[in-house]
Amino acid sequence: MANDNFWSAFVLLLLILDPFGNLPFFIAVMRKLPPQRRLPVALREIAIAYLVLLVFMFGGHGFLRLMNLSQPSIEVAGGVILLLVAIKMIFSTTSEIFGGGEGGREPLIFPLAVPLLAGPSALATVLLLASRQPGEIWTWVGALSTAVFVTGGLLLISELLLKWLGDSVMNAAEKLMGLILTAIAVNMLLSGIRSYFGLPP
């Protein structure tokens, strides 16, 4: 069961982090920096995003108690957010979602760490995972760490990937990820509604 939880959480987080969809934006920001600064900046921003997501994961249960929020309400809210992100993945480009890069300034937290990686959908998802099954917290940490590692690795070789695969393949991969995320979002939304009304799964 723990292994199933790990893989389902890993796939969900990888879809939300959307490495293929974020590649063009990541490349556009990195190209504005001197070549010698690209790798250190990329590693720093990935690490910051990971730390932000970890904080939300470990603080999620306490946050829900503090705000007096119920589990079904978080599931419904998370489902709605994921559905909106999935729709944007299918019908929009990354530049339309996040806007253009900043001049020649070196990015710090914004826009690469937040919201490109640790965006509202990712934050809501780790919050939901930790609050729904707090006893599995280390499973969720492992899934998050693996998803961030894979996403970070793909972003670090983003220019090579774009050269090898081409824009059309990258766009098709993002649309496919958006379609899968849509199904996950609808399932999460329905699960929250069922829990709220006490309906059987």
Give how far the C-alpha of residue 188 lies from the chain's centroid of Cα atoms, to the nearest Å: 16
Q: Locate tokens 């720093």: which residue? A: 44
In the prediction, which pLDDT does 39 show?
A: 93
pLDDT in tens, 111-133: 889 888 998 788 889 988 888 88
pTM across the whole model? 0.79
The confidence band for 139, taking pLDDT boundaries of 50, 70 and 90, is: very high
Phi and psi dihedrals of 154, rounded to 5? Answer: -65, -40
Instruction: Quote the tokens at residue 99.
Output: 């806007």
pLDDT digits (tens, 9 = 90+) for 33-48: 898 999 999 999 999 9
- Domain parsing of the chain, residue ranges: 2-197
